[in-house]
DNA sequence: GTAATAATGATATGCATTATCATTAATATG
DNA sequence: CATATTAATGATAATGCATATCATTATTAC
């Protein structure tokens, strides 16, 4: 059950930082872990709100940020649109193909490209930490 | 003199769209063409303001957008930071190495990576149009 | 020169994100 | 268990940037 491990990452971070476990935090975390990929703060807020209307937007936002800090989640921003969050733990690094028409995200990974990137950085005497590759175009439905 | 050609691209677009040439447009264009790379609206506004304090922020913003539309300039957004604009015409496609410490942009290009990207897209039945590759890390000064 | 209308400049609006702050609640300690 | 400490919450305000609005000005076609 990977979500148990995922939870451990989060609670480990909480403990490490001297933060506290709260009912809201647990609810928001569970909702995030059982949600679909690429969720926005608003999306998650709306899901949480159904069963827990007392939980505020700011709390959802704060906890998504905290999940990113813990390494559990990752924030994705494309252009000006709102930030989306995806589960990072147990989820290999990948890049995105983004449809210019329907906005679909397709996740891809290519070991060769990754290696070439490192090589490229090295040539410029640059120490790479992370990267972001987005390929925009049209998916098979929108061609 | 490449800037003459660059100007032609812009004025061609103006003509094509039935737009008009104005004094402000000319001033903003000239300022952009002689500016450094990766300039923000605010930067350009401040440059223009020195000699032409009557020109407004909105006009600079609108004209930068128009330059992008014409293909002369390109908008670059990294994360949440403000949009930057760079000259696109006469300037090969390239990606960026971005220093996490000092924010420097290093321009890079690798034909192999470009090709692999196309291949990758093809495998997913995706028609690529453009892409954006950003490698974050530390430059030689900030290592 | 005149009419049509695009562009300008000042400012308002929109919108997502983040900050503020009084109140509530979680944890540690005696 | 009671209490103190202080993090977290929830409502809302503030922020920051991009863009829209609108009265006025200026450009282009005729």
Strands A84-87 vs A39-40: parallel, antiparallel or unpaired? antiparallel
Q: What is the pLDDT of residues A21-50, one digit of tens each?
A: 999 999 999 999 999 889 999 999 999 999
Kindly state whether A79 is in contact with chain B, defined as any CB-CB distance less than 8 angstroms: yes
Q: What is the pLDDT of residue B26?
A: 97
A61 or B2, higher pLDDT: A61
CATH for the stretch A95-137: 3.30.1490.190
Helix (H, G, I), strand (E, B) or coil at A96: strand
Residue of B nearest to A81 (CA): B80
Q: What is the pLDDT of residue A79?
A: 77
pLDDT band for position A97 (50/70/90)? very high
Is it true that A2-87 and A95-137 share their CATH fold?
no
Q: What is the pLDDT of residue B104?
A: 84
Task: Measure the CA–CA gap between A39 and A25, rounded to whole angstroms.
Answer: 17
Buried b (16+ CB within 10 A) or exposed e, A69-100: ebebbbebebeeeebbbbbbbeeeeebbbbbe
Nucleotide whose C1' lies closest to the alpha carbon of residue A40: C16
Q: Which of B116, B130, B140 sits opposite A112 (nearest CB)?
A: B116
Q: What is the pLDDT of residues B101-116, one digit of tens each?
A: 888 889 999 999 999 9
What average pLDDT does chain B have?
92
Pair of tokens at residue B54: 């009557």
Q: What is the pLDDT of residue B3?
A: 58
Q: What is the pLDDT of residue A123?
A: 94
Is the domain spanning A2-87 CATH 3.30.70.20? The answer is: no
- For chain A, the domains span 2-87, 95-137
Q: What is the pLDDT of residues B73-128, one digit of tens each?
A: 999 988 788 999 999 988 889 999 999 888 888 999 999 999 999 999 999 999 99
Chain A partners within 8 Å of B117 (Cβ):
113, 133, 135
Q: What is the pLDDT of residues A56-72, one digit of tens each?
A: 999 999 999 999 999 99
Q: Nearest CA of chain B to the CA of A41: how many Å?
A: 16
Contact B99, B78 (CB under 8 A): no
Contact A55, A49 (CB under 8 A): yes
Q: Which residue carries 């891809």 as its tokens? A: A108
């Amino acid at each position: 059950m990977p979500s148990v491990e995922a939870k451990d990452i989060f609670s480990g971070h909480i403990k490490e930082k001297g933060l506290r476990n709260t009912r809201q935090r647990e609810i928001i975390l569970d909702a995030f872990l059982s949600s679909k990929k690429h969720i926005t703060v608003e999306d998650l807020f709306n899901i949480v709100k159904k069963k827990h209307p007392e939980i505020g937007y700011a709390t959802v936002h704060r906890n998504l940020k905290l999940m990113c800090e813990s390494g559990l989640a990752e924030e994705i921003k494309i252009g000006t649109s709102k930030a989306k969050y995806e589960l990072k733990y147990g989820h290999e690094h990948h890049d995105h193909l983004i449809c210019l028409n329907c906005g679909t995200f397709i996740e891809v990974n290519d070991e060769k490209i990754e290696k070439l990137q490192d090589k490229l950085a090295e040539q410029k005497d640059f120490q790479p930490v992370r990267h972001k590759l987005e390929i925009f175009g049209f998916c098979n439905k929108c061609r």
